[in-house]
Amino acid sequence: MSNLESCPECGAPISDWLGGNCPSCLLRISREMVRGVAPQPAAEEAGQGTLAAQRQLGDYELLEEIGRGGMGLVYRARQKSLKRFVAVKLLLGGQNADEQARKRFRREAEAVAALNHPNIVSIHEIGEDVGQLYFAMELVEGRNLADLTREKQFSSRDASRLLKATAEAVHFAHQQNVLHRDLKPSNIIVDSTGVPHVTDFGLAKQIAGGGDLTLAGQVLGTPNYMSPEQADPKRGPVAEASDIFSLGAILYHLLTGRPPFLADSLTQTLRQVIENDPVSPRLLNPGIPRDLATICLQCLEKDPNRRCRSAQVLADELQRFLNGEPIHARPVSPATKLYRWCRRTPRLAFAIGCAAVLLTIIAVGTPVAFVRIDRGRWQAQDAERRTRQQLYHALLDEGRAAAFSGEVGHRVRALDALRQAATITNSPELRQAALGALRLPDLRFEREVESPHEASPDAVVLNPSFNQVAECLREGPVEIRSAAEQTLLATLAPTNAGNADHVRWSPDGTYLAFTRRTALGPLPWWLEVWDTKTWHCVLTTPSAAPRVVFRPHSTQVLATQRDGITFWDLEKQKPVASFLQTNWAAATNFEGDAHQLAFSTEGEQFAESSFDGSLSIVSVHRSSDGSTLVSAKVPSEVSALAWQPSGRWLAVTDFGGSVTLVDAANGERRTIGHHEAQAATATFSPDGNYLFTGGWERVLICWDMLSLQSSFIIPLDSFNIQFRNDGAECALAGESSWQLHAFERPAAHRQLPEPLGSNVRHAAFSPDGHWLAVAGFERLGVWNLHSTGPAALTAQGADDRLFFSAQNELFGCSDDEYHGWRILDGGRADSPPMLQELQIPQPSGFVSFCQAPDGVLMSSSLGSGLIDTTSGQTQWTPTAQGVSSSSPDGRWMGIFTPYSRVAHIYRLPELSLAANLTNRANILRVQFSPLGSEVAVVTASEFEFWSTTTWQRTRLLTNAVNLLYTPRANGLWLSRSYRTAGLYSAATLELLLPLPRGTLPLALSPDGRYLAVSSDAQRLELWDLFEVRRQLQALGLSWPEAL
């Protein structure tokens, strides 16, 4: 505020911001005018007392006050001369009013007097009485809009009609160059006929050629209805558009019941008028027509140029609305509203714009960022997936390569790599590789024990239980130490001069033998045998060679002499038998000195090798009389002999590096491999399944005695290996230490080494799981699964289709004959079973037979019937003739004629026909599921599965040649070809466990635990599937479905 001036009405300071008006007077006037009450000037009181005292004013008799205006009071009066009622307006202050107020009052009367319009209150006379200025005007009997809007809500049409007439009156005033400047509901009187009349031109202004009709700096209008240019002179001059704005505010009030701008204070109201757009009337009253709201809001535009061009244009728009015609006004678009708001509030708009831009950037950038992040995440995940896939394949390849490396640790390294690959994914190919690795024998290093003294590998030997070690100290004593702590237990003083070497323990560890090379005596070696319980020497004798062997299951030892060999009894401490070399020369047609010796497992036979300087002969003799049984020539000097625990093979190594096997039964010789240097040692594993040979190149080779091929090599600078008596651990001797390794054998895989010939394809388990029968092209073998003994072999039943009866009797049949056996235990755990042949008469036209609940069902040209295996009697029932099979549950029998397409299904035991199943190709085999709910018909190209409930075909399976059901029929062992097979889910045919290539399933035990498989159609193995699953689980490779 500058140059403070006082208001002439109340004496309060005047505000520059309000255009020189008094804020106190504005507030008081606006409140009174909103209430419809004329303001009372501060100087009014002096003249009012006089006016109240006199009721006569010139020719007029004042009857009652009917209103107050901004500049005067209005009375209802009677004109005495014309005897009519009029309205008389008196100047506030009366005689005390100043000259300027009197001049304004006169000029207002003059301006209105020129307005002769039916909707404008006309003036009859202006006069002065006793200093009191007044003018008489038309008396309108009615009420102003302010009072009416408080009592009722105007309809859209009534409001439009009233405002149309008012706009026409305002337009007429504008044509007469008069601006009202204070249009509001209280200045519009509606008469009894509903016609509006504009009154109170106290703030009127001449548009052209005249000055303000009110005092400068005084009230310019009512804030709730005034235009923005009235509230803020900086927005431009007041013109016709200002009255149009006020008309729009009146229409807004009539439609909504409230003015468009309403606040708690004058300042806030004026700020709303200047800055804010009014709320759409349709938000306050949804019943307002859209066109009428558009007309109203156009009048209330902040920019005068955007309002109606004149009050008549407004009246015309309202008439169009009343006529139901399209209006010319158009609603303000959202974009325009935004633009106006930004112009009114640039700082806030800028801030919001910046925020909007930021939000837009975020809104647009965030998805882009998310897409990029997601793409980056996907790329990272894809890269990680590819990396993991590459790592998986690398580990799988590493495992496969390790398994096929043929070096010690191949099983260990392969399983370690596959275990790591299993953490990436558990795939069937991993299980297949792991299954192949689990079949391998291997050594797993455990510990290395340093020897207190340096000695040759043949001079340091562990006892059979690996808890003691004997070490020869050259010409000194032989020391006995504990294997674990290397504690000295005994010292065996030399009985003869010479270096001690070639230490041997007896199989039970009760005796220790070694030789000393000496120049004294008739022979170059001196043999010593010590009792390990008392550590006393029980035998000393000259020897022709540094070789000594203990006879199993006895206290005898066999030593070489100059002209033969001698059996010594260690308890009697004397020789019990001698056999001269010359006695064998005639039998073998060979003369030479005995060098190497070996006993059979039972000790009933022994083998010896002789050398004549260019050729060796290996011969087998009976221990009781020394008679020669078989012999074989070896084209080099023999360096070692070892007898396989099963008794079949003699392992022979020679100075030429060859490893040869001699059949102990017939003397047939077979060379299985070579060392790079002289082959020096030969040792069988206690189970006889593996042979270890060592050469002077200091490499050991492990040979698989079933395949007669090398399993792996051991390049650990040793040629001497020793097994603990249980076969679980072995020791490799070096110059100054020996290493202990766990001997890891295929625990879940039992090799059945008996030769059955090629084309091993038929097998069967007994119902109680005690016996396994397998037929090869040359022999039938039967194993006792409760023992580790050998198989019973017979040429009868070779290549037969096999099955067991419910009484565990074994039957086999081929195309033209059949056989039957009763199986008996061999008497000892290591003895083969005994086969007692059943004498069953063969009927005319025999075709096949199969298992039945109470015996055996035979099929022939006479039909089918149950055989009495004791008497051979059969009661025949007419059936189709052909190859038969029965369901494990004993409910069904299937018969098909070879090379036909129809399978005949019969109910058991009555042998009544149940169904004839016509298939798409010639039938090779009919097989039932364990519960008899399904029958699989095998053809050359596919498997056709039929339901035994509906006898409908349920599914087809192609690319398969053989099928085994698991006990619960939830799995299928399928041979996809004659080289590939595996376990599949019966429900989904998902491959669960692929078998190593060349391995085919032959038979599954009734409990699903044991699987008989053939490898390359020759080798036979028995797999413990429970153990296989346990080992695969330990590797993280178990399959998702139980067997």
Q: 66: how many CB neighbours lie within 10 A of its CB?
A: 13
Beta strands 855-860 and 863-867: pairing type? antiparallel
DSSP 453: S
Q: What is the spatial order of strands in the sheet that 810-813 belongs to?
A: 801-804, 810-813, 818-824, 834-837
- CA–CA gap between residue 958 and residue 962 (Å, rounded): 11
Alpha helices in 940-1040 (DSSP H): 1025-1034
Which residue type sits at 192?
Answer: S
Judged by DSSP in three states, 346 sits in: helix
Instruction: Write the CA distances from 726 to 464, 687, 722, 729, integer angstroms.
Output: 9, 9, 12, 8
- CA–CA gap between residue 850 and residue 848 (Å, rounded): 7
- CA–CA gap between residue 418 and residue 431 (Å, rounded): 9
Query: Which of 471, 611, 606, 495 lies closest to 549 in space, CA to CA?
Result: 606
Which residue type sits at 4?
Answer: L
DSSP secondary structure, 575-635, as one string = EEEEEEHHHHHHHHT---EEEEEEE-TTSSEEEEEEE-SS-EEEEEEETTT--EEEEEEES
- CA–CA gap between residue 147 and residue 189 (Å, rounded): 10
Which pair of structure tokens corresponds to residue 640? Answer: 């070692």
CA count, 13 A, side-chain hemisphere, 420: 17
**Alpha-carbon torsion angle 59, 62, 65, 70, nearest 10:** 30
Instruction: Write the CA distances from 671 to 676, 706, 1024, integer angstroms.
Output: 15, 14, 33
Q: What is the spatial order of strands in the sheet that 883-886 belongs to?
A: 883-886, 892-896, 902-907, 912-918
Please, what is the angle between helix 290-299 and helix 156-175, to 10°? Answer: 30
For 367-391, the three-class secondary structure string (H helix, E strand, C coil) is HHHHHHHHHHHHHHHHHHHHHHHHH
Residue 182 among the catalytic residues = yes
DSSP secondary structure, 670-730, as one string = EEEEE-SS-EEEEEE-TTSSEEEEEETTTEEEEEETTTTEEEEEE-SS---EEE-TTSSEE
**Active-site residue among 16, 182, 531, 625?**
182
Contact 605, 629 (CB under 8 A): yes
Query: Which of 236, 382, 368 lies closest to 301 in space, CA to CA?
Result: 236
DSSP 137: E
Alpha helices in 404-486 (DSSP H): 410-422, 428-438
Which residue type sits at 767?
Answer: P
**Catalytic residue numbers?**
182
